[in-house]
Amino acid sequence: MPMAIELLEVNDKPMTIIYPGAMGLAPAVIAEDGTAGIRIPMHEFCVALIRRLRKPLVSTSANISGLPAPSTYSQISSEIISAVDWVADPVYEQGATGTASQIIKVGLHGEIAIIRK
């Protein structure tokens, strides 16, 4: 989608883009409305990990729905940590902004909705 590429080119902070019409993904990562959110990290560790694996990472939010999103590792609930396959060592948190990514939803016809700034 050209609109998503333009967003990435002018972006200066972590971003999640919600794309319409998701296909070829595991059913669990496609929302009920057929969209899929793709997080574009800017943290050196995250970018290096993705490059090394040569595959995207699948993840959920680090919070329980309806509760505030944690901004540091120490704020992630033990319930979340014990339920996932792997957690990066908190030492890699250095250089993180401590702020949630902006979320932008792109429509089928190029419409843009800012979900979170």
Question: pLDDT digit string (tens) for 18-65?
Answer: 999 999 888 988 999 999 998 888 788 888 999 999 988 877 778 887
Q: Which domain holds residue 55?
A: 2-116
Q: What is the percentage of the chain residues whose pLDDT exceeds 70?
A: 91
Taking the C-alpha atoms of residue 102 and residue 81, their distance in angstroms, rounded to an integer, is: 23
DSSP code of residue 32: T
pTM above 0.85, yes or no: no
For the stretch 9-18, pLDDT in tens is 667 777 888 9
**59-116: pLDDT as tens digits:** 777 888 788 878 888 888 898 889 888 888 888 888 777 777 788 898 888 788 988 8
Is 31 in a helix, a strand, or coil? coil
The pLDDT, as a whole number, for residue 93 is: 82
The structural domain count of the chain equals 1
